[in-house]
């Protein structure tokens, strides 16, 4: 007995985990498979007869309209991504494969939910550019921002400052109280440093107990000195009761200013690092 494929096709379409949309020249949805309820939270009959653009995330309307024009001009778009607003108000990331059928007179698209993939990509990107313990920018991202800041400073004839911080006797915290306690202290230091800077500045953890602060909106040497004083004051505040007997360690801060102390990243880092160790030796000698 031959199989009636014509009768089978609609059932196959509605068995698909991806959602099939058929949209006319005026962007009206004329057909959508049952998987749309999982994708967007709407039943097929709720979507049919409505404009597909109604459900697109507002920030993605422009790029989506450009993709629509491309498809309707006969260029299939097999890897387009955008965001839609679900019925419950949530946001779903969608990967599309779409083409225009002149025979049908409609745009046919297959939509796949890639929200989990997008989240994983975002997390991987964050981990590649941030310190896993403190969530501060890591050395790689710091170097990128430093280079960009130097380029902007040269172009606009501006100055910037680099602070190099070392936590004094941090090893003692790890030795006496354990590395878990030391990690908590480092996270506290990270948050305190972040509280001292503006949105255009960068705080980075570049090593075990070493941090850098890139100040891009600095107008004078006095402003740099004031920022360093603010950091010292914040760092001198005691730890919370949850830290028990652990005392907040002091820090040594070295500074380098562009262009006075160097013309490139290596020279400025070397100057700030040397200045920090000079201050650290002075503190050690004084004690």
Average pLDDT per consecutive 10 residues, the chain (287 residues; last block may be shorter): 62 82 96 95 96 97 96 93 97 97 93 96 94 95 95 91 93 91 95 93 94 89 91 92 90 93 93 91 71
- Which CATH homologous superfamily contains domain 5-119? PAS domain (3.30.450.20)
Which CATH number applies to 130-286? Answer: 3.30.70.270
pLDDT at 6: 66
Query: Distance between CA 208 and CA 175 in Å, rounded?
Result: 14
122 token code pair? 């975002």
Query: Distance between CA 95 and CA 108 in Å, rounded?
Result: 14
Q: What is the pTM of this model?
A: 0.77
CB 54 within 8 A of CB 41: no
User: Crossing angle, helix 179-194 and helix 170-177, to 10 degrees?
Assistant: 140
Q: What is the CA radius of gyration of the chain?
A: 29
CB 215 within 8 A of CB 222: no
CB 132 within 8 A of CB 186: no
CA atoms within 13 A on the CB side of 2: 4
pLDDT at 5: 57
Identify which of 49, 208, 194, 24 has the alpha carbon closest to the alpha carbon of residue 109: 24
What is the per-residue pLDDT across 183-214, written as a single tens digit (0 to 9) for each? 999 999 999 999 999 889 999 999 889 999 99
pLDDT at 221: 84
pLDDT at 185: 95
CA angle 63, 68, 69 (to 5 degrees): 100
Q: Is 209 in the active site? A: yes
Active site residue: 60, 113, 209, 275, which one?
209
100 token code pair? 């225009």
- What is the residue extent of each domain of the chain? 5-119, 130-286
pLDDT at 191: 96
Q: Can you tell me whether residue 87 is helix, strand or coil?
A: coil
Bridge partners for 160 per DSSP? 258
Identify which of 55, 99, 101 has the alpha carbon closest to the alpha carbon of residue 80: 99
Bridge partners for 130 per DSSP? 137
């Amino acid at each position: 007995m031959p199989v009636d494929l014509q009768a089978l096709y609609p059932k196959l379409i509605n068995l698909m985990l991806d959602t099939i949309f058929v949209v006319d020249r005026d962007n009206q949805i004329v057909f959508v498979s049952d998987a749309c309820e999982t994708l967007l939270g709407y039943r097929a009959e709720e979507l049919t007869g409505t404009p597909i653009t109604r459900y697109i995330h507002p920030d993605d309307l422009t790029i989506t309209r450009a993709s629509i024009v491309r498809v309707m001009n006969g260029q299939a778009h097999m890897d387009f991504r955008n965001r839609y607003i679900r019925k419950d108000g949530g946001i779903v990331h969608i990967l599309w494969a779409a083409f225009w059928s002149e025979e049908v007179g409609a745009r046919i698209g297959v939509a796949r939910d890639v929200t989990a993939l997008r989240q994983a990509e975002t997390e991987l990107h964050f981990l590649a550019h941030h310190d896993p313990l403190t969530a501060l920018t890591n050395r790689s991202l710091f170097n990128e921002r430093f280079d960009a800041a130097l380029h902007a400073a040269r172009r606009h004839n501006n100055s910037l400052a680099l602070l190099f911080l070392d936590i004094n006797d941090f090893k003692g915290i790890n030795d006496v109280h354990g590395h878990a306690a030391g990690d908590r202290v480092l996270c506290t230091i990270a948050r305190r440093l972040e509280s001292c800077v503006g949105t255009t500045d960068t705080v980075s953890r570049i090593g075990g107990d070493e941090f850098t602060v890139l100040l891009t909106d600095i107008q004078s040497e006095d402003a740099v000195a004031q920022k360093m004083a603010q950091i010292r004051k914040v760092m001198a505040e005691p730890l919370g009761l949850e830290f028990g007997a652990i005392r907040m360690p002091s820090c040594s801060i070295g500074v380098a200013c562009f262009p006075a102390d160097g013309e490139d990243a290596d020279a400025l880092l070397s100057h700030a690092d040397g200045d920090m160790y000079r201050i650290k030796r002075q503190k050690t000698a004084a004690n």
